[in-house]
A = this chain, B = another copy of it.
């Protein structure tokens, strides 16, 4: 992948995350990426396509971070920790990605493919939750969607705190959060 294409994508991720798609101008992306405005159109058909490409890319990266070293043969509790801690860590290192994904999942600019990719990301999480419910370690009173919503919603807001400096992520806090969120969903 070209150097310029990559820097355009990074600039777009940062700017779309911070200002939103509609609040970000193409020349602004160009400046942030240190390329000419016209160059963006050499790599992306238009601004909307750029959004979809980076959304798909970042969701894929998130999914890969979930799946990397996933403890398929360990307990649901450990699987939850893998996902939760992985998500917190991911959002520390890729704050803009998480903000981008969270704030644009309902964007009217998303293509069907991008929406589909998002669904498949959720499906992966649902599968784990479902397994936990069958083992009766995750509470059946809570619908799957609620479990994902609580966890993901909490992480996003926590990430904002970490990024804004209101909160500092320590290993202790990470452990506490993992424990607390598990309490919120377990039987």
Contact = CB atoms under 8 A, between A and B. Distances in A.
Nearest to A106: B160
A116 interface: no
B153 A155 contact: yes
Contacts of A153: 153-158
A146 B172 contact: no
Interface in A170-187: 172-173, 176-177, 180-181, 183-185
Interface string A157-169: 1101100001100
Given A19-B108, A23-B20, A103-B103, A161 B149 contact: yes
User: So how many copies of this chain end up in the complex?
Assistant: 4
A184 B157 CA distance: 15
Interface string A129-146: 000000000010111011
Contacts of A183: 180, 183-184
A80 interface: no
A166 B185 contact: no
B108 A142 contact: no
Contact of A152 (B157, B167, B172): B157
Given A146-B158, A183-B183, 8 more contacts: A20-B23, A146-B177, A149-B157, A149-B161, A153-B154, A154-B154, A156-B157, A180-B183
Interface of A: 19-23, 103, 106, 108, 139, 141-143, 145-146, 148-150, 152-158, 160-161, 166-167, 172-173, 176-177, 180-181, 183-185
11 contacts: A22-B22, A103-B103, A139-B176, A142-B177, A146-B161, A148-B157, A149-B161, A149-B167, A150-B181, A153-B154, A180-B185
